[in-house]
Chain A
Amino acid sequence: MQKETMTSIERVECALNLEKPDRVPIWPDVTTSAAAALTDEKIWEITHQGFDAEQDLELKLFDEYGGWDAVNPALTADVFAVGGNKIIKATEESPEIQFVEGEWTKYEDYEIIAEIGWFQFVTDHLIYRVSDIKDKAEYDKLYGEVINGTLRGMAEYQKRGAFILYAQPNNHPFFTLSLARSMVKFTEDLFYRPEMVERALKKMTEEFIEFGLMLCEMANLKNTKVIEERAGGAIYPLRVFDRFWWPYTQQIVEAFHSRGIMSSFHLDTCWDKNLHYFKELPRKSAMIELDGTTNIFAAKDILRNHMCIASDIHPALMSLGKPEEVAAYCRKVIDEVGDDGGHILSTACGLPAAAKKENFIAMLETGKTYELSK
Protein backbone atom coordinates (compact mmCIF):
# COMPACT_ATOMS: atom_id res chain seq x y z
CA MET A 1 0.00 0.00 0.00
CA GLN A 2 1.24 3.47 -0.85
CA LYS A 3 1.87 5.95 1.95
CA GLU A 4 -0.06 9.14 2.61
CA THR A 5 1.66 12.15 1.12
CA MET A 6 -0.56 14.94 2.42
CA THR A 7 -1.52 16.33 5.78
CA SER A 8 -5.19 16.42 6.69
CA ILE A 9 -5.34 20.14 6.01
CA GLU A 10 -3.69 19.77 2.60
CA ARG A 11 -6.01 16.88 1.75
CA VAL A 12 -9.20 18.77 2.55
CA GLU A 13 -8.00 21.93 0.81
CA CYS A 14 -7.15 19.83 -2.22
CA ALA A 15 -10.69 18.39 -2.36
CA LEU A 16 -12.31 21.80 -1.84
CA ASN A 17 -10.16 23.09 -4.72
CA LEU A 18 -11.55 20.28 -6.90
CA GLU A 19 -8.21 18.57 -7.16
CA LYS A 20 -7.33 14.93 -6.48
CA PRO A 21 -5.75 14.36 -3.04
CA ASP A 22 -3.56 11.39 -2.08
CA ARG A 23 -6.72 9.78 -0.68
CA VAL A 24 -10.24 10.94 0.05
CA PRO A 25 -10.51 13.33 3.00
CA ILE A 26 -12.76 12.00 5.76
CA TRP A 27 -15.29 14.07 7.69
CA PRO A 28 -17.63 11.84 9.74
CA ASP A 29 -19.70 14.89 10.84
CA VAL A 30 -19.76 13.62 14.39
CA THR A 31 -22.73 14.29 16.66
CA THR A 32 -22.33 14.32 20.42
CA SER A 33 -24.86 11.48 20.71
CA ALA A 34 -22.86 9.30 18.33
CA ALA A 35 -19.61 10.23 20.07
CA ALA A 36 -21.07 9.04 23.37
CA ALA A 37 -22.38 5.77 21.96
CA LEU A 38 -19.10 5.00 20.19
CA THR A 39 -17.01 5.68 23.30
CA ASP A 40 -19.35 3.86 25.71
CA GLU A 41 -20.33 7.07 27.47
CA LYS A 42 -23.80 8.18 28.54
CA ILE A 43 -24.78 11.28 26.60
CA TRP A 44 -27.70 12.06 28.92
CA GLU A 45 -25.20 12.45 31.77
CA ILE A 46 -22.56 14.33 29.79
CA THR A 47 -25.07 16.81 28.35
CA HIS A 48 -25.80 18.06 31.84
CA GLN A 49 -22.10 18.52 32.63
CA GLY A 50 -21.81 21.47 30.26
CA PHE A 51 -20.34 22.51 26.97
CA ASP A 52 -16.74 21.51 27.69
CA ALA A 53 -17.75 17.97 28.62
CA GLU A 54 -19.47 17.56 25.24
CA GLN A 55 -16.44 18.97 23.40
CA ASP A 56 -14.19 16.57 25.32
CA LEU A 57 -16.45 13.68 24.37
CA GLU A 58 -16.01 14.34 20.66
CA LEU A 59 -12.27 14.81 21.13
CA LYS A 60 -12.17 11.46 22.93
CA LEU A 61 -13.85 9.84 19.95
CA PHE A 62 -11.33 11.48 17.60
CA ASP A 63 -8.42 10.20 19.64
CA GLU A 64 -9.76 6.70 20.32
CA TYR A 65 -10.52 5.99 16.65
CA GLY A 66 -7.28 7.37 15.26
CA GLY A 67 -8.58 10.71 14.02
CA TRP A 68 -9.68 11.90 10.60
CA ASP A 69 -9.24 14.89 8.34
CA ALA A 70 -12.06 17.41 8.68
CA VAL A 71 -13.95 18.32 11.84
CA ASN A 72 -16.38 20.78 13.32
CA PRO A 73 -16.49 21.64 17.02
CA ALA A 74 -19.27 19.96 18.97
CA LEU A 75 -22.81 21.02 18.11
CA THR A 76 -24.43 20.81 21.50
CA ALA A 77 -28.03 21.48 22.47
CA ASP A 78 -26.87 24.85 23.82
CA VAL A 79 -25.45 25.82 20.42
CA PHE A 80 -28.87 25.38 18.85
CA ALA A 81 -30.72 26.88 21.81
CA VAL A 82 -28.89 30.20 21.56
CA GLY A 83 -29.98 30.33 17.94
CA GLY A 84 -33.62 30.32 19.04
CA ASN A 85 -34.45 26.64 18.45
CA LYS A 86 -36.74 24.70 20.76
CA ILE A 87 -34.59 21.77 21.77
CA ILE A 88 -35.03 18.64 23.82
CA LYS A 89 -31.75 17.50 25.30
CA ALA A 90 -30.66 13.89 25.11
CA THR A 91 -32.14 11.48 27.62
CA GLU A 92 -31.51 7.82 28.38
CA GLU A 93 -34.64 6.85 26.43
CA SER A 94 -33.89 9.22 23.56
CA PRO A 95 -30.15 9.85 23.32
CA GLU A 96 -30.28 12.47 20.56
CA ILE A 97 -30.86 16.21 20.55
CA GLN A 98 -34.30 16.78 19.03
CA PHE A 99 -35.82 19.92 17.56
CA VAL A 100 -39.40 20.56 18.55
CA GLU A 101 -41.58 21.72 15.67
CA GLY A 102 -44.05 24.36 16.79
CA GLU A 103 -45.51 27.79 16.21
CA TRP A 104 -42.89 29.58 18.27
CA THR A 105 -43.41 32.73 16.22
CA LYS A 106 -46.56 34.48 15.06
CA TYR A 107 -47.23 36.14 11.72
CA GLU A 108 -46.84 39.55 13.36
CA ASP A 109 -43.28 38.63 14.32
CA TYR A 110 -42.09 38.91 10.71
CA GLU A 111 -42.53 42.67 10.98
CA ILE A 112 -40.54 42.79 14.21
CA ILE A 113 -37.79 40.65 12.67
CA ALA A 114 -37.69 42.92 9.62
CA GLU A 115 -37.27 45.91 11.92
CA ILE A 116 -34.86 44.74 14.61
CA GLY A 117 -33.27 41.69 12.98
CA TRP A 118 -33.32 38.03 13.89
CA PHE A 119 -30.64 38.10 16.58
CA GLN A 120 -32.31 40.82 18.60
CA PHE A 121 -35.67 39.14 18.06
CA VAL A 122 -34.21 35.98 19.58
CA THR A 123 -32.84 37.76 22.64
CA ASP A 124 -35.84 40.07 23.11
CA HIS A 125 -38.63 37.60 22.43
CA LEU A 126 -38.04 34.11 21.07
CA ILE A 127 -35.62 32.73 23.63
CA TYR A 128 -38.26 33.06 26.36
CA ARG A 129 -40.74 31.08 24.28
CA VAL A 130 -38.43 28.17 23.52
CA SER A 131 -36.19 27.83 26.58
CA ASP A 132 -36.04 28.23 30.34
CA ILE A 133 -33.69 31.21 30.04
CA LYS A 134 -35.00 33.97 32.30
CA ASP A 135 -33.22 37.12 31.18
CA LYS A 136 -30.69 38.66 28.82
CA ALA A 137 -27.82 38.20 31.29
CA GLU A 138 -28.45 34.46 31.42
CA TYR A 139 -28.64 34.32 27.62
CA ASP A 140 -25.39 36.25 27.26
CA LYS A 141 -23.68 33.93 29.73
CA LEU A 142 -24.79 30.85 27.79
CA TYR A 143 -23.80 32.46 24.50
CA GLY A 144 -20.37 33.25 25.92
CA GLU A 145 -19.96 29.61 26.93
CA VAL A 146 -20.91 28.50 23.43
CA ILE A 147 -18.40 30.84 21.79
CA ASN A 148 -15.58 30.05 24.22
CA GLY A 149 -16.33 26.31 24.08
CA THR A 150 -16.31 26.39 20.29
CA LEU A 151 -13.00 28.24 20.18
CA ARG A 152 -11.51 25.77 22.67
CA GLY A 153 -12.76 22.85 20.59
CA MET A 154 -11.23 24.37 17.47
CA ALA A 155 -7.89 24.87 19.19
CA GLU A 156 -7.87 21.24 20.33
CA TYR A 157 -8.56 19.98 16.81
CA GLN A 158 -5.94 22.30 15.38
CA LYS A 159 -3.39 20.75 17.75
CA ARG A 160 -4.33 17.40 16.23
CA GLY A 161 -3.73 18.69 12.70
CA ALA A 162 -7.38 18.53 11.57
CA PHE A 163 -9.03 20.91 9.11
CA ILE A 164 -11.79 22.97 10.76
CA LEU A 165 -14.64 22.83 8.30
CA TYR A 166 -16.78 25.39 10.11
CA ALA A 167 -17.19 26.90 13.57
CA GLN A 168 -20.93 27.26 14.14
CA PRO A 169 -24.00 25.92 12.38
CA ASN A 170 -25.82 28.73 10.60
CA ASN A 171 -29.35 27.96 9.50
CA HIS A 172 -30.34 29.61 6.23
CA PRO A 173 -32.84 32.45 6.91
CA PHE A 174 -35.57 30.45 5.11
CA PHE A 175 -34.94 27.39 7.30
CA THR A 176 -34.70 29.54 10.42
CA LEU A 177 -38.15 31.00 9.81
CA SER A 178 -39.64 27.62 8.93
CA LEU A 179 -38.34 26.05 12.16
CA ALA A 180 -39.52 28.97 14.26
CA ARG A 181 -42.96 29.29 12.69
CA SER A 182 -43.58 25.55 11.96
CA MET A 183 -43.50 24.21 8.44
CA VAL A 184 -47.24 24.28 7.84
CA LYS A 185 -47.74 27.86 9.04
CA PHE A 186 -44.61 29.08 7.28
CA THR A 187 -45.81 27.49 4.05
CA GLU A 188 -49.22 29.14 4.44
CA ASP A 189 -47.41 32.46 4.90
CA LEU A 190 -45.35 31.88 1.75
CA PHE A 191 -48.42 31.06 -0.33
CA TYR A 192 -51.09 33.35 1.13
CA ARG A 193 -49.31 36.42 2.54
CA PRO A 194 -45.66 36.47 1.52
CA GLU A 195 -44.84 40.19 1.72
CA MET A 196 -43.80 40.25 5.37
CA VAL A 197 -41.88 37.00 4.99
CA GLU A 198 -39.82 38.61 2.26
CA ARG A 199 -39.08 41.65 4.41
CA ALA A 200 -37.87 39.38 7.20
CA LEU A 201 -35.78 37.26 4.81
CA LYS A 202 -34.11 40.37 3.42
CA LYS A 203 -33.10 41.62 6.85
CA MET A 204 -32.03 38.16 8.03
CA THR A 205 -29.86 37.60 4.96
CA GLU A 206 -27.97 40.83 5.64
CA GLU A 207 -27.47 39.72 9.24
CA PHE A 208 -26.51 36.18 8.22
CA ILE A 209 -23.71 37.59 6.09
CA GLU A 210 -22.56 40.09 8.69
CA PHE A 211 -22.57 37.50 11.50
CA GLY A 212 -20.94 34.79 9.40
CA LEU A 213 -18.15 37.09 8.25
CA MET A 214 -17.53 38.15 11.83
CA LEU A 215 -17.34 34.51 12.97
CA CYS A 216 -14.97 33.57 10.16
CA GLU A 217 -12.75 36.53 10.95
CA MET A 218 -12.79 35.81 14.70
CA ALA A 219 -11.96 32.12 14.17
CA ASN A 220 -9.72 32.69 11.14
CA LEU A 221 -11.79 30.31 9.00
CA LYS A 222 -12.24 30.12 5.26
CA ASN A 223 -15.47 28.13 5.36
CA THR A 224 -18.94 28.83 6.66
CA LYS A 225 -21.91 26.55 7.16
CA VAL A 226 -25.35 27.08 5.62
CA ILE A 227 -27.98 24.62 6.80
CA GLU A 228 -31.13 24.12 4.75
CA GLU A 229 -33.41 21.15 5.19
CA ARG A 230 -36.67 22.33 3.64
CA ALA A 231 -36.34 24.62 0.63
CA GLY A 232 -35.60 21.97 -1.99
CA GLY A 233 -37.79 20.40 -4.65
CA ALA A 234 -38.84 17.56 -2.36
CA ILE A 235 -41.10 20.09 -0.66
CA TYR A 236 -41.46 23.36 -2.59
CA PRO A 237 -42.16 24.13 -6.25
CA LEU A 238 -39.42 25.97 -8.10
CA ARG A 239 -41.42 29.20 -8.17
CA VAL A 240 -41.18 29.29 -4.35
CA PHE A 241 -37.51 28.32 -4.46
CA ASP A 242 -36.85 31.02 -7.10
CA ARG A 243 -38.48 33.72 -5.05
CA PHE A 244 -37.75 32.90 -1.42
CA TRP A 245 -34.49 30.92 -1.37
CA TRP A 246 -32.25 31.21 -4.36
CA PRO A 247 -31.78 35.02 -4.52
CA TYR A 248 -30.88 35.18 -0.82
CA THR A 249 -28.58 32.19 -1.24
CA GLN A 250 -26.77 33.83 -4.14
CA GLN A 251 -26.37 36.96 -2.05
CA ILE A 252 -24.89 34.92 0.82
CA VAL A 253 -22.50 32.92 -1.36
CA GLU A 254 -21.30 35.96 -3.28
CA ALA A 255 -20.69 37.96 -0.10
CA PHE A 256 -18.58 35.18 1.42
CA HIS A 257 -16.85 34.28 -1.83
CA SER A 258 -15.74 37.89 -2.32
CA ARG A 259 -13.87 37.53 1.00
CA GLY A 260 -12.35 34.18 0.01
CA ILE A 261 -14.76 32.15 2.17
CA MET A 262 -16.48 29.01 0.91
CA SER A 263 -20.11 28.29 1.84
CA SER A 264 -20.79 24.70 2.82
CA PHE A 265 -24.44 23.78 2.24
CA HIS A 266 -25.96 21.12 4.47
CA LEU A 267 -28.83 20.04 2.21
CA ASP A 268 -31.32 17.61 3.70
CA THR A 269 -34.24 16.11 1.73
CA CYS A 270 -34.06 15.54 -2.01
CA TRP A 271 -32.53 18.38 -4.08
CA ASP A 272 -32.54 16.60 -7.44
CA LYS A 273 -34.75 19.31 -8.95
CA ASN A 274 -32.54 22.15 -7.66
CA LEU A 275 -29.00 20.91 -8.30
CA HIS A 276 -28.56 22.78 -11.57
CA TYR A 277 -28.99 26.09 -9.73
CA PHE A 278 -25.73 25.52 -7.87
CA LYS A 279 -23.93 25.55 -11.21
CA GLU A 280 -24.78 29.26 -11.38
CA LEU A 281 -22.63 29.98 -8.31
CA PRO A 282 -18.99 30.89 -8.89
CA ARG A 283 -16.76 27.84 -9.26
CA LYS A 284 -15.32 26.70 -5.89
CA SER A 285 -17.49 29.21 -4.01
CA ALA A 286 -19.47 26.48 -2.27
CA MET A 287 -19.66 22.81 -1.44
CA ILE A 288 -22.73 20.68 -0.81
CA GLU A 289 -23.37 17.99 1.78
CA LEU A 290 -26.15 15.58 0.81
CA ASP A 291 -28.28 13.36 3.04
CA GLY A 292 -28.79 10.21 0.98
CA THR A 293 -32.10 11.27 -0.56
CA THR A 294 -30.57 13.44 -3.30
CA ASN A 295 -29.02 11.37 -6.09
CA ILE A 296 -25.36 12.06 -5.35
CA PHE A 297 -24.19 10.54 -8.63
CA ALA A 298 -26.46 12.84 -10.62
CA ALA A 299 -25.22 15.70 -8.46
CA LYS A 300 -21.66 14.82 -9.42
CA ASP A 301 -22.55 14.81 -13.11
CA ILE A 302 -24.09 18.26 -12.82
CA LEU A 303 -21.50 19.83 -10.53
CA ARG A 304 -18.36 18.05 -11.71
CA ASN A 305 -15.36 20.37 -11.67
CA HIS A 306 -17.56 23.10 -10.21
CA MET A 307 -17.95 22.37 -6.50
CA CYS A 308 -16.92 19.81 -3.91
CA ILE A 309 -19.49 17.26 -2.72
CA ALA A 310 -19.55 15.62 0.71
CA SER A 311 -20.99 12.16 0.42
CA ASP A 312 -23.80 10.64 2.19
CA ILE A 313 -23.48 7.32 3.99
CA HIS A 314 -27.08 6.63 4.97
CA PRO A 315 -28.00 6.64 8.69
CA ALA A 316 -29.79 3.30 8.37
CA LEU A 317 -26.71 1.76 6.73
CA MET A 318 -24.45 3.11 9.50
CA SER A 319 -26.88 1.89 12.18
CA LEU A 320 -28.13 -1.43 10.85
CA GLY A 321 -25.88 -2.42 7.95
CA LYS A 322 -22.83 -4.68 7.97
CA PRO A 323 -19.26 -3.29 7.89
CA GLU A 324 -18.70 -4.78 4.43
CA GLU A 325 -21.81 -2.96 3.17
CA VAL A 326 -20.55 0.33 4.60
CA ALA A 327 -17.14 -0.28 3.06
CA ALA A 328 -18.72 -1.12 -0.30
CA TYR A 329 -20.70 2.13 -0.33
CA CYS A 330 -17.60 4.11 0.65
CA ARG A 331 -15.66 2.55 -2.23
CA LYS A 332 -18.53 3.37 -4.61
CA VAL A 333 -18.63 7.08 -3.73
CA ILE A 334 -14.84 7.30 -3.66
CA ASP A 335 -14.74 5.85 -7.19
CA GLU A 336 -17.71 7.64 -8.68
CA VAL A 337 -17.97 10.95 -6.80
CA GLY A 338 -14.27 11.34 -6.08
CA ASP A 339 -12.86 10.02 -9.35
CA ASP A 340 -11.48 13.44 -10.26
CA GLY A 341 -11.28 14.85 -6.73
CA GLY A 342 -13.79 17.30 -5.27
CA HIS A 343 -15.13 14.76 -2.80
CA ILE A 344 -15.17 14.45 0.99
CA LEU A 345 -16.27 11.15 2.50
CA SER A 346 -18.97 11.88 5.04
CA THR A 347 -22.23 10.75 6.59
CA ALA A 348 -25.74 11.80 5.62
CA CYS A 349 -26.92 14.57 7.97
CA GLY A 350 -24.33 13.68 10.58
CA LEU A 351 -23.10 10.52 12.22
CA PRO A 352 -26.23 8.90 13.70
CA ALA A 353 -26.51 8.08 17.38
CA ALA A 354 -27.23 4.45 16.57
CA ALA A 355 -24.13 3.98 14.37
CA LYS A 356 -22.37 0.70 15.06
CA LYS A 357 -18.72 0.80 16.10
CA GLU A 358 -17.73 -1.69 13.41
CA ASN A 359 -19.48 0.42 10.75
CA PHE A 360 -17.76 3.60 11.89
CA ILE A 361 -14.42 1.79 11.76
CA ALA A 362 -15.28 0.47 8.29
CA MET A 363 -15.95 4.02 7.08
CA LEU A 364 -12.67 5.34 8.52
CA GLU A 365 -10.55 2.40 7.33
CA THR A 366 -11.98 2.39 3.83
CA GLY A 367 -11.45 6.14 3.54
CA LYS A 368 -7.89 5.90 4.81
CA THR A 369 -6.74 2.86 2.81
CA TYR A 370 -8.85 2.23 -0.32
CA GLU A 371 -7.20 4.63 -2.75
CA LEU A 372 -3.73 4.05 -1.37
CA SER A 373 -4.21 0.31 -1.90
CA LYS A 374 -5.26 0.59 -5.51
Chain B
Amino acid sequence: MLVNGFVELKRDEVLETVKGRVEQGDDALKILDDARHAMTVVGDKFQEGTLFLAEMMLSAEIFKEVVTILQPGMDKARPSESIGKIVLATPKGDIHDLGKDIFATLLIAQGFDVHNLGVDVDPSKVVDTVREVKPDFVGFSALITTAFASMKKTTDILISEDLRGSFKLMVGGGVTNSVLKDHVGADFQTIDAMEGVSYCLKTMKEKNQ
Protein backbone atom coordinates (compact mmCIF):
# COMPACT_ATOMS: atom_id res chain seq x y z
CA MET B 1 0.00 0.00 0.00
CA LEU B 2 2.68 2.49 1.02
CA VAL B 3 4.93 1.50 -1.85
CA ASN B 4 2.31 2.34 -4.50
CA GLY B 5 1.44 5.56 -2.72
CA PHE B 6 5.06 6.72 -2.71
CA VAL B 7 5.78 5.62 -6.28
CA GLU B 8 2.59 7.15 -7.68
CA LEU B 9 2.82 10.23 -5.46
CA LYS B 10 -0.56 9.66 -3.84
CA ARG B 11 0.29 11.91 -0.94
CA ASP B 12 -3.15 12.12 0.65
CA GLU B 13 -3.64 8.34 0.49
CA VAL B 14 -0.26 7.69 2.09
CA LEU B 15 -0.86 10.16 4.90
CA GLU B 16 -4.37 8.82 5.57
CA THR B 17 -3.03 5.26 5.68
CA VAL B 18 -0.27 6.21 8.11
CA LYS B 19 -2.65 8.16 10.34
CA GLY B 20 -5.06 5.22 10.31
CA ARG B 21 -2.34 2.77 11.33
CA VAL B 22 -1.21 5.05 14.14
CA GLU B 23 -4.79 5.34 15.41
CA GLN B 24 -5.10 1.55 15.34
CA GLY B 25 -2.03 1.31 17.57
CA ASP B 26 0.41 0.03 14.97
CA ASP B 27 4.08 0.34 16.01
CA ALA B 28 5.50 3.66 14.77
CA LEU B 29 8.86 2.09 13.99
CA LYS B 30 7.18 -0.63 11.93
CA ILE B 31 5.32 2.02 9.91
CA LEU B 32 8.60 3.93 9.50
CA ASP B 33 10.28 0.79 8.18
CA ASP B 34 7.47 0.40 5.65
CA ALA B 35 7.89 4.01 4.55
CA ARG B 36 11.64 3.48 4.23
CA HIS B 37 11.05 0.40 2.14
CA ALA B 38 8.77 2.44 -0.11
CA MET B 39 11.52 5.05 -0.50
CA THR B 40 13.99 2.30 -1.39
CA VAL B 41 11.64 1.18 -4.17
CA VAL B 42 11.41 4.81 -5.34
CA GLY B 43 15.21 5.00 -5.35
CA ASP B 44 15.50 1.77 -7.31
CA LYS B 45 13.04 3.05 -9.91
CA PHE B 46 15.00 6.29 -10.16
CA GLN B 47 18.18 4.34 -10.84
CA GLU B 48 16.36 2.22 -13.42
CA GLY B 49 15.32 5.47 -15.12
CA THR B 50 11.59 4.94 -14.66
CA LEU B 51 11.25 7.71 -12.07
CA PHE B 52 12.80 11.18 -12.25
CA LEU B 53 14.39 13.45 -9.68
CA ALA B 54 11.23 15.55 -9.37
CA GLU B 55 9.22 12.44 -8.47
CA MET B 56 11.86 11.25 -6.03
CA MET B 57 11.90 14.71 -4.47
CA LEU B 58 8.13 14.67 -3.97
CA SER B 59 8.32 11.14 -2.52
CA ALA B 60 10.90 12.46 -0.07
CA GLU B 61 8.51 15.27 0.86
CA ILE B 62 5.80 12.69 1.58
CA PHE B 63 8.32 10.75 3.65
CA LYS B 64 9.05 13.86 5.72
CA GLU B 65 5.32 14.29 6.40
CA VAL B 66 5.08 10.62 7.42
CA VAL B 67 7.95 11.08 9.87
CA THR B 68 6.16 14.11 11.37
CA ILE B 69 3.04 12.01 11.94
CA LEU B 70 5.08 9.18 13.47
CA GLN B 71 7.33 11.35 15.63
CA PRO B 72 5.25 11.22 18.87
CA GLY B 73 5.14 7.42 18.67
CA MET B 74 8.83 7.17 17.88
CA ASP B 75 9.73 9.39 20.84
CA LYS B 76 8.07 6.85 23.13
CA ALA B 77 9.58 3.83 21.42
CA ARG B 78 13.10 2.49 21.53
CA PRO B 79 15.51 4.63 19.51
CA SER B 80 15.77 3.56 15.91
CA GLU B 81 19.30 2.40 15.08
CA SER B 82 20.89 4.27 12.20
CA ILE B 83 22.75 2.41 9.48
CA GLY B 84 25.44 5.09 9.33
CA LYS B 85 26.25 8.67 10.27
CA ILE B 86 26.73 11.49 7.78
CA VAL B 87 27.73 15.13 8.14
CA LEU B 88 26.59 17.35 5.25
CA ALA B 89 27.47 20.97 4.57
CA THR B 90 27.48 23.59 1.87
CA PRO B 91 30.90 25.18 2.51
CA LYS B 92 31.61 28.77 3.47
CA GLY B 93 30.84 31.19 0.65
CA ASP B 94 28.01 29.19 -0.94
CA ILE B 95 24.37 29.48 0.15
CA HIS B 96 22.80 26.84 -2.13
CA ASP B 97 21.08 23.95 -0.39
CA LEU B 98 18.52 22.48 -2.78
CA GLY B 99 20.52 19.46 -3.91
CA LYS B 100 22.08 18.88 -0.50
CA ASP B 101 18.69 18.88 1.21
CA ILE B 102 17.24 16.41 -1.30
CA PHE B 103 20.26 14.18 -0.67
CA ALA B 104 19.78 14.54 3.10
CA THR B 105 16.12 13.51 2.94
CA LEU B 106 16.92 10.48 0.79
CA LEU B 107 19.61 9.41 3.26
CA ILE B 108 17.25 9.81 6.22
CA ALA B 109 14.69 7.73 4.35
CA GLN B 110 17.30 4.98 4.06
CA GLY B 111 17.93 5.05 7.79
CA PHE B 112 21.07 7.19 7.98
CA ASP B 113 21.65 9.60 10.84
CA VAL B 114 22.17 12.88 8.97
CA HIS B 115 23.77 15.95 10.54
CA ASN B 116 22.88 18.65 8.03
CA LEU B 117 24.91 21.73 8.95
CA GLY B 118 23.21 23.96 6.38
CA VAL B 119 24.82 26.52 4.07
CA ASP B 120 27.77 28.90 4.26
CA VAL B 121 29.32 26.59 6.84
CA ASP B 122 32.58 27.59 8.47
CA PRO B 123 35.36 24.94 8.41
CA SER B 124 35.54 24.96 12.22
CA LYS B 125 31.89 23.92 12.45
CA VAL B 126 32.53 20.92 10.21
CA VAL B 127 35.61 19.95 12.18
CA ASP B 128 33.81 20.27 15.54
CA THR B 129 30.88 18.19 14.28
CA VAL B 130 33.16 15.49 12.88
CA ARG B 131 34.96 15.31 16.21
CA GLU B 132 31.67 15.07 18.11
CA VAL B 133 29.64 12.80 15.80
CA LYS B 134 32.41 10.55 14.43
CA PRO B 135 30.61 10.15 11.10
CA ASP B 136 31.06 7.45 8.49
CA PHE B 137 30.77 10.10 5.75
CA VAL B 138 31.26 13.82 5.28
CA GLY B 139 29.61 15.40 2.24
CA PHE B 140 30.25 18.83 0.73
CA SER B 141 27.80 20.31 -1.74
CA ALA B 142 28.53 23.27 -4.04
CA LEU B 143 26.91 25.20 -6.84
CA ILE B 144 29.57 27.89 -7.24
CA THR B 145 33.31 27.61 -7.69
CA THR B 146 34.18 29.94 -4.81
CA ALA B 147 33.17 27.07 -2.52
CA PHE B 148 36.14 25.04 -3.79
CA ALA B 149 38.68 26.90 -1.66
CA SER B 150 36.53 26.50 1.42
CA MET B 151 36.12 22.77 0.75
CA LYS B 152 39.86 22.37 0.39
CA LYS B 153 40.54 24.41 3.52
CA THR B 154 38.09 22.34 5.56
CA THR B 155 39.59 19.10 4.29
CA ASP B 156 43.12 20.28 5.06
CA ILE B 157 42.11 21.10 8.63
CA LEU B 158 40.47 17.68 8.99
CA ILE B 159 43.75 16.12 7.80
CA SER B 160 45.88 18.22 10.14
CA GLU B 161 43.59 17.36 13.04
CA ASP B 162 44.07 13.67 12.20
CA LEU B 163 40.33 13.22 11.56
CA ARG B 164 40.29 12.60 7.81
CA GLY B 165 41.04 8.87 7.98
CA SER B 166 37.90 8.04 9.92
CA PHE B 167 35.28 8.78 7.22
CA LYS B 168 34.67 8.76 3.49
CA LEU B 169 34.62 12.23 1.93
CA MET B 170 32.02 12.96 -0.74
CA VAL B 171 31.62 16.04 -2.96
CA GLY B 172 28.54 16.82 -5.01
CA GLY B 173 26.67 19.57 -6.82
CA GLY B 174 26.43 21.18 -10.22
CA VAL B 175 29.99 22.53 -10.44
CA THR B 176 31.75 19.43 -9.14
CA ASN B 177 33.57 16.86 -11.22
CA SER B 178 36.55 14.53 -11.00
CA VAL B 179 38.97 17.47 -11.10
CA LEU B 180 37.49 18.81 -7.87
CA LYS B 181 37.38 15.30 -6.36
CA ASP B 182 41.13 14.98 -6.88
CA HIS B 183 41.79 18.52 -5.70
CA VAL B 184 40.18 17.99 -2.29
CA GLY B 185 41.15 14.33 -2.05
CA ALA B 186 37.56 13.12 -1.87
CA ASP B 187 36.62 9.45 -2.08
CA PHE B 188 33.51 10.03 -4.17
CA GLN B 189 31.95 12.67 -6.41
CA THR B 190 28.54 12.90 -8.03
CA ILE B 191 25.91 15.28 -9.36
CA ASP B 192 23.24 12.60 -8.81
CA ALA B 193 21.72 12.41 -5.29
CA MET B 194 20.63 8.80 -5.64
CA GLU B 195 24.07 7.75 -6.85
CA GLY B 196 25.37 9.28 -3.63
CA VAL B 197 22.87 7.31 -1.56
CA SER B 198 23.91 4.09 -3.33
CA TYR B 199 27.56 4.85 -2.59
CA CYS B 200 26.77 5.31 1.12
CA LEU B 201 24.74 2.09 1.27
CA LYS B 202 27.42 0.11 -0.55
CA THR B 203 30.18 1.51 1.65
CA MET B 204 28.30 0.68 4.85
CA LYS B 205 27.56 -2.82 3.59
CA GLU B 206 31.27 -3.39 2.92
CA LYS B 207 32.20 -1.86 6.28
CA ASN B 208 29.84 -4.16 8.16
CA GLN B 209 30.94 -7.37 6.45
Contact = CB atoms under 8 A, between A and B. Distances in A.
Decide whether A and B assemble into one complex. Answer: yes
Nearest to A317: B179
Contacts of A314: 177, 179
A98 B90 CA distance: 13
Contacts of A318: 145
A33 B146 CA distance: 10
Interface in B95-132: 95-98, 120
Given A187-B57, A268-B174, A319 B96 contact: no
Interface of A: 33, 88, 93-96, 98, 100-101, 183-184, 187-188, 190-192, 233-237, 240, 268-269, 291-293, 314-321, 349, 352-355
A353 B147 CA distance: 10
Given A93-B93, A235-B52, A293-B174, A192 B11 contact: yes
B94 A94 contact: yes
B203 to A, nearest CB: 23
Contacts of B149: 354
A352 B144 contact: yes
Nearest to A241: B52
For the residues of A in contact with B, the DSSP-based class is loop
B148 A240 contact: no
Contacts of A188: 58, 61
Interface residues of B, number: 31
Contacts of B96: 98, 101
A298 to B, nearest CB: 16
B47 interface: no
B145 to A, nearest CB: 4
Contacts of B97: 101
B106 to A, nearest CB: 13
Contacts of A316: 145, 148, 175-177, 179-180, 183
A184 B57 contact: yes
A75 B3 CA distance: 46
A354 B145 contact: yes
